[in-house]
Structure 1
Amino acid sequence: MTKEAMASLAEKDPEFYKFLKENDPEALEFDENAEFSEIDELSGSEAEGEEPKKKKQKKDPKAAAADEDNGSELTQKMIAKWKAQIEETKSLRAARQVVIAFRCAAHLNEDDDEKPQRYTINNPDAFNDILVLALKHIPEVLQHHVPVKESAAGKTYVNTDTKKFKILSQLVKNYAASIIHLLGTLSDEPTLKLTISALEPLLPYLLSFRKLLKVLIRTVVAFWSQSASTEATRITAFLVARRLMVISDKGVRETVLKAVYQGLVQGCRLTNVNTVAGINIMKNSAAELWGLDQALGYTTAFGFIRQLAIHLRNSIVNNKNNAFRNVYNWQYVHSLDFWSCVLAEHCSPLKEAEAGKESQLKLLIYPLVQVTLGAMRLIPTALYFPLRFQLVRSLLRLSRATDTYIPLASILLEVLNSAEMKKPPKSSTLKPLDFATAYKAPKSYLRTRVYQDGLGEQVIELFSEYFVLWSRNIAFPEFSLPVVVALKRWLKDSRKKSSGNKNGKIGAQLALLVQKIEANAKFIEDKRNRVEFAPNNRSQVEAFLRDFEWEKTPLGAFVVGQRKLRAEKRKMMEEARKEDERKRKEEEEEERLGKQEDEEDDSEEEDHDDLAEDDDEEEEEEEGSDEEEEESDDE
Structure 2
Amino acid sequence: MNSFDKAQVSIQQLAKILRQGIKTKKKEVLKKIYNWQYINCIDLWVKLISANIRDHDLQPFLYTIIQVINGVVCLFPGPRYLPLRLKCIQMLNQLSSSSGVFIPVSSLVLDALEFIGNNKQDEKLGKDFDVSAVLKVPKQWLKLKYFQEELVLSLIELLSVHFSQWSFHISFPDLATFPLMRLRKFHEKITAESLRRPVKRLIDQVQQNVDFLQKKRDDAAFSPKDLESIESFVQIGTSSGNLPFVQYYASVVRKSLPQGVPQKESTQEQIVSIKQQKEVLDKSPIVIVDEASSIDGSKRKKQRT
* Shared fold per TM-score greater than 0.5: yes
Q: Deviations over 1:114-157 (max 9, x none)?
A: xxxxxxxxxxxxxxxxxxxxxxxxxxxxxxxxxxxxxxxxxxxx
State the match for 1:18 in structure 2: none
Provide the alpha-carbon RMSD of the alignment: 1.9
What SS does the corresponding residue of 1:492 show, helix, strand or coil?
helix
Question: How far apart are 1:429 and its partner, in Å?
Answer: 4.7
Q: Aligned match of 1:341 in 47, 50, 65? A: 47
Question: How far apart are 1:493 and its partner, in Å?
Answer: 2.5
- The reply on whether 1:427 has 2:133 as its aligned counterpart is no
Contact kept? 1:445, 1:451, Cα under 8 Å: yes
Q: Deviations over 1:227-280 (max 9, x none)?
A: xxxxxxxxxxxxxxxxxxxxxxxxxxx5xxxxxxxxxxxxxxxxxxxxxxxxxx
- Higher relative contact order (CA closer than 8 Å, sequence separation 6+): 2
Amino acid at match of 2:53: C
Higher CA-based Rg: 1
Consecutive unaligned residues in structure 1, runs of 5 or more: 1-253, 255-295, 352-358, 495-501, 572-635
Q: Aligned match of 1:468 in 164, 171, 193? A: 164
- The reply on whether 1:482 has 2:178 as its aligned counterpart is yes
Question: How far apart are 1:552 and its partner, in Å?
Answer: 2.4
CA distance in 2: counterparts of 1:463 and 1:565, whole angstroms: 15
- TM-score, L = length of structure 1: 0.39
CA distance in 1: counterparts of 2:48 and 2:27, whole angstroms: 33
Q: Deviations over 1:162-196 (max 9, x none)?
A: xxxxxxxxxxxxxxxxxxxxxxxxxxxxxxxxxxx
**Where does 1:245-260 land on structure 2 (aligned, <5 Å)?**
none
What SS does the corresponding residue of 1:456 show, helix, strand or coil?
helix
CA distance in 1: counterparts of 2:123 and 2:87, whole angstroms: 26
- The reply on whether 1:557 has 2:257 as its aligned counterpart is no
Q: Deviations over 1:46-84 (max 9, x none)?
A: xxxxxxxxxxxxxxxxxxxxxxxxxxxxxxxxxxxxxxx
Contact kept? 2:117, 2:189, Cα under 8 Å: no
Question: How far apart are 1:547 and its partner, in Å?
Answer: 6.7
Q: Percentage identity across aligned positions?
A: 25
State the match for 2:227 in structure 1: 538
What SS does the corresponding residue of 1:334 show, helix, strand or coil?
helix
Structure 1 474/568 Cα, relative in aligned 2: closer, same or farther at 3 Å? same
CA distance in 1: counterparts of 2:180 and 2:133, whole angstroms: 30
CA distance in 2: counterparts of 1:458 and 1:570, whole angstroms: 20
State the match for 1:314 in structure 2: 20
CA distance in 1: counterparts of 2:39 and 2:235, whole angstroms: 34
CA distance in 2: counterparts of 1:389 and 1:321, whole angstroms: 22
- The total of aligned residue pairs comes to 260
Structure 1 440/569 Cα, relative in aligned 2: closer, same or farther at 3 Å? farther
CA distance in 2: counterparts of 1:381 and 1:331, whole angstroms: 21
- The reply on whether 1:513 has 2:202 as its aligned counterpart is yes
- The reply on whether 1:364 has 2:34 as its aligned counterpart is no
Question: How far apart are 1:526 and its partner, in Å?
Answer: 2.3
Question: How far apart are 1:341 and its partner, in Å?
Answer: 1.1
Structure 1 486/321 Cα, relative in aligned 2: closer, same or farther at 3 Å? closer
Q: Aligned match of 1:459 in 149, 155, 168? A: 155
Structure with greater helix percent: 1
Q: Deviations over 1:569-601 (max 9, x none)?
A: 597xxxxxxxxxxxxxxxxxxxxxxxxxxxxxx
What SS does the corresponding residue of 1:529 show, helix, strand or coil?
helix
Q: Aligned match of 2:72 in 363, 367, 375? A: 375
Structure 1 421/308 Cα, relative in aligned 2: closer, same or farther at 3 Å? farther
Question: How far apart are 1:428 and its partner, in Å?
Answer: 3.3
**Where does 1:588-607 land on structure 2 (aligned, <5 Å)?**
none
Q: Deviations over 1:396-440 (max 9, x none)?
A: 01101111000111111111112x532222223543331232222
Contact kept? 1:453, 1:506, Cα under 8 Å: yes
